[in-house]
Amino acid sequence: MSNIEEIKSTGLKATLPRLKILEVFQTAKLRHMTAEDIYRILLEERSDIGLATVYRVLMQFEQAGLLTRSNFESGKAVYELNEGQHHDHLVCLDCGHVEEFFDPEIEKRQQAIAKSRGFILQEHALSLYANCSKTDCPHRITGNTPPRDLTLRR
């Protein structure tokens, strides 16, 4: 399905800003991005799309089911393409890198816990926050790398 068809299938018009923002999500190296990340990429591409438009399109895409939103340690909304597969997140407290994972045992335990307490689980989001222990972590901030704003790094 083309991007135009994908956007139209949600009931939205396929405007240039919507097409560009969807393309950014499909081609960016980062999977989890803030509105500011998207805006920065659009600026680098010399695109004439303002930050307010980026926020508006992200909200529309989330409501239409094209994107999912998470709020990690920064409290800022972070978006990713909704590919229809549930997954959880492991967030590095050192650099903000986010890794996705799925564990059937964790999923079973959550269902069992909800059931044992008289609930029927409808949906959930699990984010684990940890410090990276990898000696060769490509995301680690080194002594000669200037510190960056962790809220913008995904």
- Of the candidates 134, 67, 55, 61, the one whose C-alpha atom is nearest the C-alpha of residue 97 is 134
**Predicted local distance difference test score (pLDDT) of residue 74:** 66
Q: What CA–CA distance (Å, rounded) separates 118 from 83?
A: 30
Q: What CA–CA distance (Å, rounded) separates 23 from 40?
A: 14
**Predicted local distance difference test score (pLDDT) of residue 64:** 94
Across the beta sheet with 127-130, the strand order is 98-101, 88-92, 127-130
Cβ atoms of residues 98 and 90 within 8 Å: yes
pTM for this one? Answer: 0.73
Q: What is the pLDDT along the chain (154 residues), one digit of tens a residue?
A: 788 888 888 888 999 999 999 999 999 988 899 999 999 999 999 999 999 999 999 999 999 999 999 887 667 788 999 988 888 889 888 887 888 899 999 999 999 999 999 999 998 888 898 998 888 877 766 544 333 344 433 3
**Predicted local distance difference test score (pLDDT) of residue 120:** 94
